[in-house]
Amino acid sequence: MATQVSKKEPTPPISMWAAPVIVGWLIPGGGHFLLKKRGRAALLLVSVTVMFVFGLLMRGAMFHPEKGDLLTTVINYGGFLSNLSAGVLYLLTTMLGYAQPDVAGHVHDYGTKFLVTAGLMNVLAMVDAFEIATGKKD
Each domain of the chain, given as residue ranges in start order, spans 15-133
Per residue in 98-126, pLDDT (tens digit) is 877 777 888 889 999 999 999 999 999 99
* Residues in Cβ contact with 76 at an 8 Å cutoff, skipping those fewer than 6 apart: 63, 64, 65, 66, 67, 68
| Average pLDDT score over the chain | 91
pLDDT over 60 (residue 12): yes
What pLDDT, on a 0 to 100 scale, did the predictor assign at position 62?
Answer: 92
Q: Tell me what the mean pLDDT of segment 61-90 comes to.
A: 93
User: pTM of the entire structure?
Assistant: 0.86
Question: What pLDDT digit, counting tens, does each position of 32-51 carry?
Answer: 999 999 999 999 999 999 99
CA distance 2 to 100: 59
More confident residue, 9 or 87: 87
